């Protein structure tokens, strides 16, 4: 973080950036609904999952806070008619499952908190762990809250597939962008 700006202000800025990115990518993802919507709350290509993973990986608790807020706002649209406390709990469960799974993944893979030893091949492994945790935890919540009543395993697997696909697309696009950026920044004789 930048030393001259208070940590709280930097954290709130990270939260705002994560919320805006999640919300914006969700809106873009809605274009895919006619082809990729599996069931309410489950999309077979869910790009916001990639934003959530990146936000939590890079912004920690502040990135998670931003994703939570964006998901809470969006949940009021796609789960309309549900009580606000239930939507807040859904947004919390969804975000917390991803956050906890990322923390566990980083420890399991021996990746340092500053991500200096993170490599591209780690990302699909982290993605598999987080999407499994998120898919089963979130769908357990849906059933416990009475928001869904059947097809637990199918819904959880479909959510895992959609989250993994969306995350993989976002992370691959980021990797390509960083690769191109690195090449453009290289001195002209070293390309």
For the whole model, what pTM was predicted? 0.88
Residue among 129, 124, 139, 125 nearest 101 (CA): 129
- pLDDT value of position 190: 54
Q: What is the mean pLDDT of the chain?
A: 91
Residue 114 has pLDDT above 80, yes or no: yes
E strands, the chain, in order: 37-39, 42-43
CATH number at residue 40: 1.10.1760.20
> Is 2 contained in some domain?
no
> Is 160 contained in some domain?
yes
What letters, b where the CB count within 10 A reaches 16 and e where it falls short, cover 49-73? bbbbbbbbbebbebbbbbbbbbbbe
Residue among 173, 144, 186, 170 nearest 56 (CA): 170
> Is 1 contained in some domain?
no
> pLDDT tens digit string along 4-58?
788 899 999 999 999 999 999 999 999 998 889 888 778 999 999 999 999 999 9
- Please state the domain count of the chain: 1
Residue 174 has pLDDT above 90, yes or no: no
CA 126 – CA 91 distance, rounded (Å): 21
> Is 65 contained in some domain?
yes
> pLDDT tens digit string along 128-140?
999 999 999 999 9
Host domain of residue 149: 7-190
- pLDDT value of position 149: 75
> Is 136 contained in some domain?
yes
């Amino acid at each position: 973080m930048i030393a001259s700006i208070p940590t709280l202000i930097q954290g709130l800025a990270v939260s705002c950036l994560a919320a805006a990115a999640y919300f914006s990518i969700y809106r873009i993802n809605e274009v895919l609904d006619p082809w990729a919507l599996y069931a309410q709350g489950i999309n077979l290509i869910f790009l916001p999952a990639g934003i959530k993973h990146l936000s939590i990986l890079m912004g920690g608790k502040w990135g998670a806070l931003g994703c939570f807020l964006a998901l809470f706002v969006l949940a009021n649209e796609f789960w309309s008619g549900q009580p606000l406390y239930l939507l807040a709990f859904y947004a919390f469960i969804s975000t917390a499952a991803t956050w906890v799974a990322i923390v566990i993944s980083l420890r399991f893979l021996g990746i340092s908190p500053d991500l200096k030893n993170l490599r591209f091949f780690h990302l699909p492994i982290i993605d598999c762990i987080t999407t499994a945790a998120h898919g089963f935890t979130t769908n357990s919540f849906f059933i416990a809250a009475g928001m869904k009543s059947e097809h637990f395993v199918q819904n959880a697997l479909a959510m895992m597939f959609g989250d993994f696909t969306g995350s993989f697309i976002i992370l691959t696009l980021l990797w390509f962008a960083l690769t191109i950026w690195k090449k453009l920044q290289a001195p002209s004789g070293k390309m």
